Structures are given as structure tokens and as C-alpha cells.
Amino acid sequence: MPNFEPTGRNATVKERAQFSVKARSLTLAFLPVALTSFDYRVLSFNYLMIIESSAPTRVDLAGGTIDIPPLFLFHEGAATVNFAVDLLAKCRIETRDDDQIVLESIDRGVKFETSLDKMGELKNEPRLELLSKLVYFFKPETGFNMTTDSEAPAGAGLAGSSTLNIACIGALNTLVENRYSPDRFIPIAANVECQVIKVPTGFQDYYSAQYGGTAAIHFSPEGIRREALDIDIKTLEERVVVLYTGEPRNSGTNNWEITKRHIDGSRELYDIFEGIRDDALKLRGALLENDWIRVGEILQHAFPHRKQLSPRITTPHMDMLIDKALNNGAIAAKICGAGGGGCIAFFCEEGRKQDVETALSAEAGAEVLNYKVSTDGLIVNVS
């Protein structure tokens, strides 16, 4: 029988599916009897696919919350600045030779099974809700096992759920033969996540997950534009400590309260967001110029703006950790994500990163996260 199998790890699902069909048809031509559906499954076992995807989480440096629609439409020039880190969200899909669907989250310790004929039930499935809604959206036509894992702590404020969202979309889109072009991934991710958390979701996190690197995300009535920032990554890594406080947080709660107040016409919030926008644009400029003294000054100035957004941006435990860091070589603190727990990024004096890490590591529940800036975004491999 001729060998026409697509070669290489990057052969598309469609190519492999076509090979499976051709191989079965050709095999049938050599067999004297008709095959049952069970025989088809036996013949196709060699053609089951494994799809593996990963995407980086992020540390947001400036402009957070202004990326939630419609808030950025109220502030001309709205922007955020963040960098992707190699604390990855991962998704693995293994196709099956039956109609079963098995969804499992390793980091959450949750697993359940359903089937293709019960696909509609995933729309309102409370277990692994994000995964369930994504599978319901893509509606694959083959059975599969889908396993996810996240290297970032739960509730860390590093965009773990948004990053997992992008990783799963990359894998599921491959499973359905690249139904959507990559430029559709972010709108799909935002819409499905909104269905899960029941409030509008910010957009900056999807860009770091899909594209990686350090970037400014610009928002306007024309749309959203990502600007890659060519900066000194080595210095950034040497100056920034990322600390998990030990207190998980719920981003939907804080951000939605702030969004509602802004939409209701709070002049105080309008002025605060004008300052947040200005800080983000200034930080972008300082990073592009590799002016690290100015970077520290901007982050120092930006922290009070964030604190004014909500009394729950920090907790007493977080305030204690911030004081400890500032007393041991940190210049400024940046609450990651919506705050109320999760991670804090500290911009340190030159040569003092280790001092800050040592001081913070001594505090109960606190965990210094080892990271590297990830220049890669979403990666999908097929085998």
C-alpha cells in the first residue's frame, strides 16, 4: 500500500484526517469483506492525533482595568503595558476512537466525562466551566481527551484564566481543522470568558497570551492595536520581582464594581483613569528609551492611582509585603491584575533584586516566582 502520510509535527489536522480517510479506503480495496464501524475504529487507531498547546501568562505594568470595554472609549489614547512570562498555561488534546469527551484540569484536580451526543449540556456545565463552554462553542465531531494545566498559582492576577483560554482555543481550533483564523482567537476568548464570569472582560491579557513579549496595547474607537516594545529584556528581568502573596483573588468582582461606577458617571473615577492612561503612555516611552530611572519614577507615581480605584485593591497582608519590599531595595510596587490578593510586581534598585526576594521569602505564605520574559506566544504542535 503506498505511503502518503503527511510528515512532520506541523502537518495539519485536515491533512491527517484526509490521510486517515484515504488509508481506510485503500485498505478496503484490499479486503474481501465489508467492514463494520467497529472495524473502522480498529483500522484508524494509528491515526489518532495529539494536539499540544501552550501560552504565556503576563505581568501588567501599567494601564490595567482601562482595557475593559467600554471604559477605554472614554479615554482617548488609552493603553496598557505588560510583558509575558514563561509561567505557562497548557492544553493537550488526544483524539479517541469513540464518541466520549473527557475534560480534566490537573491544577484544579477536576475531571469529568461526557459524550458527543450530550454536547449541548456543556453550554451550562458548572464543572470546568471555561473548558466546557469552549468545547460547546467549537463542537468537535470526534471524541477526545482534553487535559489542561497551569504553572501560575490560582488567582495570581497573572491572567491565568485568559491565558488558558487562548491555549485551549489554539488546540480546539486545530482539532476542528483550523475553522477560524488566528485573528479571531482574541474576540472568541473575550466573548466566551464573559459568558463564564458574567461581566465584561479586559482585552490586554489575550494579547500577551497569543503573541508573547513586551508590548503596549492601544485602544481606540478604530479598534485594538498591539505594539511590540523592543526593550532591554535582561535588565527588566534583573529589576522586577514577581511575588505571589498567598492570597488568591477574584478579578471579576473588583473590576466590575469599578466599571459600573465609571459608566454611572463618577467624575472621580474619570480623573483616576485619565492618570492611569497617562502613566501607561509615559512608561511605554521610558521603556523604549531604556530609561530605567524614569521607569522607577513612573511606577512610583502610578501606584497611588491604582490604590484610589478601590479600597480592596490591596489587603493588610499585601500592604505589609509592600512595606517590607520598599525597605529592602524595591523602588515601586505594582499590583498584578485587579488586586485584592494574587501577585505583586516590585521594581527594584539596580543590584537589589536578590535583597528584595530574600526579605519577602521570609514572610509566611509569600512565594517569589521564578520567571523569564517569554518572547513566544501561543504555540500549537500536532503529533
Q: Which CATH number covers residue 217? A: 3.30.230.10
**Is 92 part of a structural domain of the chain?**
yes
Task: Tell me: do 90 and 176 sit in the same domain.
Answer: yes
Please indicate, yes or no, whether residues 43 and 58 belong to a single structural domain of this protein: no
Residue 118 placed within a domain? yes
**Domain tally for the chain?**
3
Same domain? For 106 and 204 the reply is yes
User: Could you give the C-alpha distances from 73 to 77, 110, 115, 211, in angstroms and in order?
Assistant: 9, 39, 43, 24
Radius of gyration for the alpha carbons in the chain, expressed in angstroms and rounded: 23
Same domain, residue pair 90 and 213: yes
Are residues 235 and 203 part of one domain?
no
**Residue 338 near residue 254 (C-beta atoms within 8 A):** yes
Query: What integer pLDDT is reported at residue 41 of this predicted model?
Result: 41
Note whether 68 and 139 are same-domain residues. yes
Average pLDDT over residues 286-292: 98
**pLDDT at 244 (0 to 100):** 97
Q: Is residue 2 part of a domain?
A: no
Residue 305 lies in a domain: yes
Helices 160-175 and 185-197 pack at an angle, to 10 degrees, of 120
Looking at the fold, whether 21 and 85 belong to one and the same domain comes out as no
336 and 237, same structural domain?
yes
The verdict on residue 192 lying in a domain is yes
Nearest 10 degrees: CA dihedral of 259, 209, 85, 344?
A: 10
- Same domain? For 97 and 184 the reply is yes
Same structural domain, 64 and 198: yes
> CB–CB of 162/172 below 8 Å?
no
Q: Percent of the chain, pLDDT > 90? A: 79
Same domain, 315 and 331: yes
Indicate if 333 and 378 belong to the same structural domain. Answer: no
For the cut 50, the answer to whether the pLDDT of residue 285 exceeds it is yes
Q: What does the pLDDT look like over 185-233, one tens digit per residue?
A: 999 999 999 999 999 999 999 999 999 999 999 999 999 999 999 999 9
More confident residue, 137 or 28: 137
Which residue segment(s) compose the domain that 40 sits in?
13-47
Tell me the pairing of strands 50-62 and 79-95: antiparallel
What pTM did the predictor assign? 0.88
Q: Give the CATH number for residue 281.
A: 3.30.70.890
The closest of 136, 144, 16 to 91, measured between CA atoms, is 144
